[in-house]
Amino acid sequence: MSLYDSVLITGGNGMLAFAVKEALAARGIPFASVGRAECDLADVDAVARTFDRVKPTLVLNCAAYTNVDGCETDPTGATAGNTTAPGNLAKACRAGGAALVHYSTDYVFDGKGEPAADGSGPWPWRINDPVAPLGAYGRSKLAGEQLLQEHAPARWVIARTQWLYGPSGKHFVDTMLNAARAGKPLKVVADQIGSPTYTPHLAAATLDVLDRGGQGIWHLSNSGRTSWFGFTEAIMAAFDVTPASLVPATSAEWKQIRPQAAHRPAWSVFDLTPYEALIGKPMPRWQDGLTAYAGRR
């Protein structure tokens, strides 16, 4: 039996699922896709009905409660979407003999990082580094990782990722472009560092890991690093847009502007060497992802 005999995509109406569907379709791999209206993943009976119908050999869980600020005011919803759901999927995959891929986040870390010996900045986050989420979103995602592993099927992958954008979704790139084109001044945080990740590159990397027998936790993002401010500068250049103004801000200043906003990690860069060793090639640079996205618009 092939891993790809019967593929089920959950969170099927979202941005990440769109890229996963494209990646599978490009390989000629058929799939079933469900959104929340078809299957509430926090409802164990709904999950069972979906599994009975699809009989998956592989589940790609693209569903999540991703509103970071919303998680602070709706911890129940965050738990349902980010903890209970992957736990239910893990149990169903275990019972049905399916493999499971679940997407997690850099928010499981505190964003401080271990200083490098040469003073060049923190080390990129390694898979086994201590986790210490700062807010409700990160806590719910970490609990989801743990519940999945507690009820793990024979084969599972947790793919931690970050700073996602891509076709068919609401995300930072389009938000900045729309604001700039509307003539709005832009003030963007410059002291949070990470790796903007293009969803088609993430989807391709996921299938690469599966094809080569990957198991366990993986860090998957585009390579390189920048700040949200630096990313915004690159966005404007890629789309040839000149904003009315673009100025940097600190996280502390942003917190004064939006005091209800959740705390974000200051350092989110991943160590990608395990992926590179498995696949034999580097992840594409974040700049390459932005160029590819601009080419599709």
192-219 tens-digit pLDDT? 999 999 999 999 999 999 999 999 999 9
How much is the mean pLDDT over the chain? 95
In this predicted structure, what is the pLDDT of residue 119? 63
Q: With 70 as the cut, is the pLDDT of residue 116 above it?
A: no
Rounded distance between C-alpha atoms, residue 39 and residue 9, angstroms: 11
Distance CA 284, CA 289 (A): 7
Residue 161's DSSP bridge partners are: 105
Q: Which domains does the chain have, with CATH numbers?
A: 7-166+198-222+270-284 (3.40.50.720)
3-state secondary structure (DSSP) of residue 2 = coil
Token pair for residue 17? 């699922």
Structure tokens that stand for 55 in this block:
């009989």
Q: Which one of 137, 165, 275, 293 is the catalytic residue?
A: 137
* DSSP codes, 92-118: HHHHHT-EEEEEEEGGGS-S--PBPTT
* pTM for this model (two decimals): 0.95
pLDDT at 117 over 70: no
Q: How confident is the model at residue 257 (pLDDT cuts 50, 70, 90)?
A: confident
CA pair distance 294, 297, nearest whole angstrom: 5
Q: Is the dihedral of CA 38, 41, 43, 49 positive or negative?
A: positive
Other CB atoms within a 10 A radius of the CB of residue 205 amount to 24
* Cβ density class 116-125: b for 16+ within 10 Å, e for less: eeeeeeeebb
Query: Residue 215: how many CB atoms within 10 A of its CB?
Result: 14
pLDDT at 259 exceeding the cut of 80: no
Q: According to the model, what pLDDT value does residue 262 have? A: 85
Q: Could you report the per-residue pLDDT of 227-255, keeping only the tens digit for each?
A: 999 999 999 999 999 999 999 999 888 88
Which structure tokens are listed for 170?
């609401």
d(CA 210, CA 123): 27
Is there a catalytic annotation at residue 137? Answer: yes
Residues 88, 43, 38, 200, CA torsion sign: negative
pLDDT digits (tens, 9 = 90+) for 167-179: 988 999 999 999 9
- pLDDT at residue 113 greater than cutoff 80: no
Determine contact, residues 80/65, Cβ cutoff 8 Å: yes
> For position 54, what pLDDT does the model report?
97
Predicted pLDDT at 35: 95
Q: Which tens digits make up the pLDDT trace of 179-194?
A: 999 999 999 999 999 9
Q: Which pLDDT score is estimated for 275?
A: 98
Beta pairing partners, 32: 8
Indicate whether 19 pLDDT > 80.
yes
